[in-house]
């Protein structure tokens, strides 16, 4: 089965937009994190699609990098979220605005 590059990139773009909108509209940090994951995977999909189009391994290599980074990022982010919740008893990102100038 052969899916054209355009469709693949369109799917990646849609996923990325969904993730971006999620980061922008959700107020719960956990959901924001999940949205970021969607964005990461969207970009991964774009890499894989491009790699298969030009028959290069680089796309898959990049995806493995993204996967690894995402795993590390999630572990750090979840730990931070736990800490934030422990301190402030909330996960609402809009309430965590102590750093405003």
Partner 1 sequence: MLNLLWIVPALPFLSFLILAVLGKRFTLKAASILGAGSIGISAFITLLIGISFISNPPADHIFVQTLWTWINVAGFNPSISFYLDPLSIVFMFVVTFVGFLIHLYSVEFMYEEEGFTRFFAYMNLFVGSMLTLVLADNLLLLYLGWEGVGLCSYLLIGFWYKDSVNGAAAQKAFIVTRVGDTAMAIGLFLLVANLGTLNIKDILSKAPETWAQGSSLATAVALLLLGGALGKSAQLPLQTWLPDAMAGPSPVSALIHAATMVTAGVYLIARTNALFILAPDVQQLVAVIGAATLLVAGFSALTQHDIKRVLAYSTISQIGYMFLALGVGAFSAAVFHFMIHAFFKALLFLAAGAVIISLHHEHNMFKMGGLKTKMPLIYWTFLIGSASLASLPLITAGFYSKDLILWTAWSGTKGSTWLWAAGLFGAFITAIYTFRMVFITFLGEQRTEISHTSGNLIKVPLVILAVLSLIGGFIELPGTLGHLPLFSGFLENALPSVSLTGKSILQEGIFQIIAGITALAGLYISYLLYVRRNISEERFSKGALHRFFYSGWGFDWLYDRLFVKPAIFLAYINRNDFIDLFYNGIAAVTSFIHKLLSKTQTGRLRWYAMGIAVGAILTITIIVFL
Exactly one of 1, 6, 24, 54 binds partner 1 (CB under 8 A); which one? 24
- C-alpha–C-alpha distance, residues 48 and 63, integer Å: 7
Chosen residue from 11, 23, 48, 62 binding partner 1 by CB under 8 A: 23
Residues in the chain, overall count: 101
- Non-local CB neighbours of 29 within 8 Å, separated by 6+ positions: 81, 84, 91, 92, 93, 96
Residue carrying structure tokens 């999620």 = 22
Does residue 87 touch partner 1 according to CB under 8 A? no
- Binding to partner 1 by residue 97, rule CB under 8 A? yes
Residue 6 touches partner 1, criterion: CB under 8 A: no
At closest approach, how far in Å is the CB of 57 from partner 1? Answer: 27
**Using rule CB under 8 A, residue 1 touches partner 1:** no
Number of Cβ within a 10 Å radius of residue 72: 10
Q: Which of 4, 7, 27, 69 binds partner 1 (CB under 8 A)?
A: 27
């Amino acid at each position: 089965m052969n899916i054209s590059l355009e469709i693949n990139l369109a799917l990646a773009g849609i996923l990325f937009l969904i993730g971006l909108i999620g980061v922008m509209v959700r107020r719960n940090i956990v959901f924001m994190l999940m949205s970021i994951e969607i964005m990461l995977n969207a970009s991964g999909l774009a890499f894989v699609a491009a790699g298969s189009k030009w028959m290069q391994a680089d796309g898959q290599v990049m995806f493995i990098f993204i996967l690894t980074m995402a795993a590390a990022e999630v572990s750090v982010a979840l730990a931070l979220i736990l800490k934030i919740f422990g301190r402030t008893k909330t996960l609402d990102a809009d309430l965590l605005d102590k750093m405003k100038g």
